[in-house]
Amino acid sequence: MTSNGASTKKRGTFAWALWDWAEQPFPTIMQTFIFPVYLAGAVAAAGTNADAQLGVATGLAGVLLALIAPVLGRRSDENGRRKFWLIVNTYILVAIMAASFFIEPKPEYFVFGLVLYGVGSVVQESAFINYYAMLKSVTTEKNIGRVSGYAWGLGYAGGIILLCISLFGFILPDTVFGEPSQNSMSVRIVFLFAAIWTAVFSIPLMLRVPEIEKKEGKARESILQSYKSLWGQLKSLRTQAPDTFKFLISSAIYRDGLAGVFTFGAVLGSLAFGFSQTQIILFGIAANIVAGIGAAVGGRLDDALGSRKVIAGSLIGLIVAGSGVFIFASAGVITYWIGGLLLCLFVGPAQASSRTFVSRFTPHGREGEVFGLYQTTGRAVSFLSGTFWAISITIGQAVTGAQNATIYGVLGLMVILIVGLVLLLRVNPNPRVLDSK
């Protein structure tokens, strides 16, 4: 490659990594810290079990994604439209975040808010299929782990800035752009800000990252034919890359445990340790700092030691930290700050190295398909963290007689991570991948 070509690819690599920063408003603001809290606390009518309804919306979104993810990835591989569909999904997310601005704090807007929440989850996860599939095309064998880790760290850095601007620029002040905040405008304006952020920072990927070529000689498939071909694709992947196939299964389990750490982290801080909404956002800022550092360091270790070792080490760290949160819960908020931040330190490298492992050992030309399966397998077991969380709390209440047994939910998440770790250790860290036919 010429120096000019190397420079062009380097710009493409940075533009790819910047998308992690660009899409960060959705997981940080719309999925975790602000929008669901606003829906459940300000929009929903009292006594309507808003938290449970958010769970139903999430579950339905997961089922839909599990059905469509493998076909979406496979079709983008064959049609040469990987970047195209990533951009389409990105700007649908922009529209969803902008539409959330119009959700007023009135019960009649709650269902509309749930629809935006659920559809946004499907669109974001669909975007990840093509985004992850691009990783191999913007990296080399020597820097793939580092680039993946830095991109994940860049996303966490974006989360820090987003939460700081949201909290100190919009939510805490009594005015919005010099006018008194009314009708929850101080919160709703954050959703509009999130949409603008994603729209602007996704432009470099659109301009700098090249599209893949369409596979020649492939007859155009209908969506129904794509589903019919899926089973054959699974069997061929098991033959062509058996350890990649096994990794998809193990990662589905431990990634749901990782998702549970984030999903229920704010609930744990609020109910078990008495954190206020402002304290939760402040913790979120610190969590993003720590997770970003972990992802960046983990990326370098990935290139030096291998993806599986980084993931296994991270899972062990998560299990130890999570167990510590449960054991030392009686010490109060200091336990949540120390144990919770340790959990975040290990979540980043586990997530980043997971996509790196798949990229390293996926047959050439099947990246979109395999990352579609990566999303599908994760969604297929997405009920685990919620189920084990609820069961553990129920058992804790029965054993202790305590009305508030939220802390016992941590044990359920640790069980999922342990099972995922055991299955991961059965995967060859350097699997052989046969040439794609």
Model confidence pLDDT, tens digit, residues 281-310: 888 889 888 988 888 888 889 988 999 999
Backbone angles phi, psi at 318, to 5 degrees: -65, -45
* Residue 305, CA distances (Å) to 164, 347, 365, 372 in order: 35, 18, 26, 27
Residue pLDDT, tens place only, 64-121: 877 777 677 666 666 778 899 999 999 999 999 999 999 999 999 999 999 999 899 8
Share of the chain above pLDDT 90, in %: 34
Q: Are 120 and 96 in contact (CB under 8 A)?
A: yes
- Count CB atoms within 10 A of the CB of residue 15: 19
Most confident of 174-178, 317-321, 373-377: 317-321
């553990």: which residue's tokens?
392
Size of the chain in residues: 437
Q: 186-213: buried (b, 16+ CB within 10 Å) or exposed (e) per residue?
A: bbbbbbbbbbebbbebbebbeebbeebe
Q: To the nearest whole number, what is the mean pLDDT of the chain?
A: 84
Tell me what pLDDT residue 107 has.
Answer: 94
pLDDT at residue 5, rounded to an integer: 47
Cα dist from 404 to 37, 50, 269, 272, 274, whole Å: 20, 19, 13, 7, 11
pLDDT score for 192: 96
135 and 148 Cβ atoms separated by less than 8 Å? yes
Q: What is the mean pLDDT of residues 119-129?
A: 89
Q: Report the alpha-carbon distance of residue 380 to residue 378 in Å, rounded.
A: 5
Q: What pLDDT is attached to residue 148? A: 85
Rounded Cα distance between 214 and 143, Å, is 26
How many CA atoms does the CB half-sphere of 300 hold within 13 Å? 6
21, two tokens: 């920063």
Which residue, among 388, 286, 278, has the nearest Cα to 343 in the 3D structure?
A: 286
Q: How confident is the model at residue 227 (pLDDT cuts 50, 70, 90)?
A: low
**Helix/strand/coil for 176:** strand
Pick the closest to residue 291 from 188, 409, 174, 163 (CA basis): 163
Contact 83, 134 (CB under 8 A): yes
Among 104, 110, 100, smallest CA distance to 52 is for: 110
Structure letter (DSSP) for residue 328: T
Interior CA angle at 94 toward 42 and 163, to 5°? 55
pLDDT(24) > 60:
yes
In 3-state terms, what secondary structure has residue 381? Answer: coil
Pair 113, 40: CB distance under 8 Å: no
pLDDT range class, residue 1, cuts 50, 70, 90: very low
Enumerate the β-bridge partners of residue 180: 175
Residue 434 has pLDDT above 60, yes or no: no
